[in-house]
Amino acid sequence: MPSPKNHLIGLLLVLTASGASAETLEDAWNSAINNNHQIKSAKADTSASEQQLQSAQGQRLPDLNVSSGYTQFSETPAAKAQIAGQSAQFNTAQAGSVKAQAIASVPIFTSGRISHNIDAAEASLQAVQSNETTSVLNIKMQVAEAYITVLRMDSALQVAQSHVDTLDLHMKDVNNLFDQGMVARNDVLAANVELANARQLVVQANNQLDIAKAHYNRLLDRNLADEVKLAHQFPESPQGTLNDLSGNALKQRPELVTLAQQIESLDQQAQSVKAGLLPQVAVNGGYQYQENRYQAFEGMWMANVGVDWKIFDGSSGHRSDAITRQAIALKEQRDDLSSMIGLQVRQAWLDIQETQKRIAVTQQAIAQADENLKVTTDRYQQGLSTNTDLLKAEDLRKTMHDNFNNANYDSTLATLHLRRALGIL
């Protein structure tokens, strides 16, 4: 009987040989970032924030207003006067006339209202950019999990198929021994049942693999039925002590940067609202035209300096306080997130330690389970072991291979979770 271990080694060699044409995790990430709708939405938010910043900066530029209109009175405007004791009346304007003006206004002092608005928009843009980075990391983590799930299900299918192959060979041995009258019919029935059960496990594994591939294709915005061929290539695990990794996470996580910039934006908005209660100085100038044949100059240039100071405003103070309290709420969220990040790093780090130990244990157990099956098969063929002993040995071998595969993929997933917790996926 060919060794199941050799069967799996051959499978890995085939996968390695075809790895050059298989899609890597990096390829999958690039495809997802280019096609995923959540990423496109985050990029659109960033573009909107850039426009908001330009809008805030535009408040420093001159405003130019051009207006025109035609007015028709029911009577010709006139004035009465007493000249040499006689009443006199003369027209002062036309009954119908055109009025037009072009006025430019430039703020020269706003008590910090505009500068705080610009600072708030800049902080908001940085927050949105960090949020876009977070969206990319989240999508990459989802893709990585789906990627590993496909590989895990594919490995499970190969183990299930090797289980069928082993039981199929055993079924032939049982039939031969039964034909020779060396075993009871009960052995034939038991082997048939185990083989049927193994085949239905292959059907289940195939179904789970198809579902995993469809989920993977959806994340990459592909047809759900597209063929999926993946390479066994993954990023290395970050090095360092748990304390070092936790400290790095607090420095690198974009979620913390997003909250910090949102807090800064709110603080600047509150300052801008307060500054609106202080003096606002602007220079106005332009050209005015009033059609009036009774007037010496119909068109005139003008300039003035205006000061606007709200001595009392019943809403601005409350609006500023409301914004300040929103910033306080975000500070509490930031502190909570910092604690959560520490937990995420610790959990992923511990998972890596656990899975590495599981790999070492299951790797040894695989060799022992394979040898146990080989010995039990030889003993059964010689009539020294029972059919039950052999089926139990094969179940144990399958379980060890499943455990080994799961330990490997759990370790890879833990490494990716740690990198995500550090913000460097």
For the chain, domains (ranges, CATH) are 4-35+110-277+313-422 (1.20.1600.10)
| pLDDT at 376 > cutoff 90 | yes
Q: In whole angstroms, what separates CA 183 from the centre of its chain?
A: 62
Instruction: Specify whether the CB–CB gap between 143 and 220 falls below 8 A.
Output: yes
Cα(385)–Cα(247) distance, rounded to whole angstroms? Answer: 59
Q: Which residue has the tokens 């656990």?
A: 354
Quick one: pLDDT at residue 27? Answer: 94
| pLDDT at 6 > cutoff 60 | no
| pLDDT at 328 > cutoff 50 | yes
Look up the pTM and report it: 0.81
Nearest C-alpha neighbor of 274 from the set 308, 307, 331, 318: 318
Structure tokens at 408: 């490997």
| Residue 92 exposed, middle or buried by CB count within 10 Å (0-12, 13-18, 19+) | exposed
The overall average pLDDT reported for the chain is: 91
Q: DSSP label at 58? A: G
Cα(272)–Cα(270) distance, rounded to whole angstroms? Answer: 5
| pLDDT at 273 > cutoff 90 | yes
Span 247-266, pLDDT tens digits = 999 999 999 999 999 999 99
Q: Average of pLDDT values for 370-375?
A: 94
For residue 156, how many other CB atoms are within 10 A of its CB?
23
| Planar angle of CA 184, 170, 157, nearest 5 degrees | 135
Cα(42)–Cα(129) distance, rounded to whole angstroms? Answer: 8
**Cα separation values, 4 from 8, 170, 401, 411, Å:** 6, 12, 10, 24
191 versus 81: which is more confidently predicted?
Answer: 191
42 versus 2: which is more confidently predicted?
Answer: 42
Span 212-249, pLDDT tens digits = 999 999 999 899 999 999 999 999 999 999 999 999 99
Quick one: pLDDT at residue 18? Answer: 44
Confidence band (pLDDT; 50, 70, 90) for 405? Answer: very high
Confidence band (pLDDT; 50, 70, 90) for 317? Answer: confident
Angle between helices 242-252 and 387-422 (to 10 degrees): 50
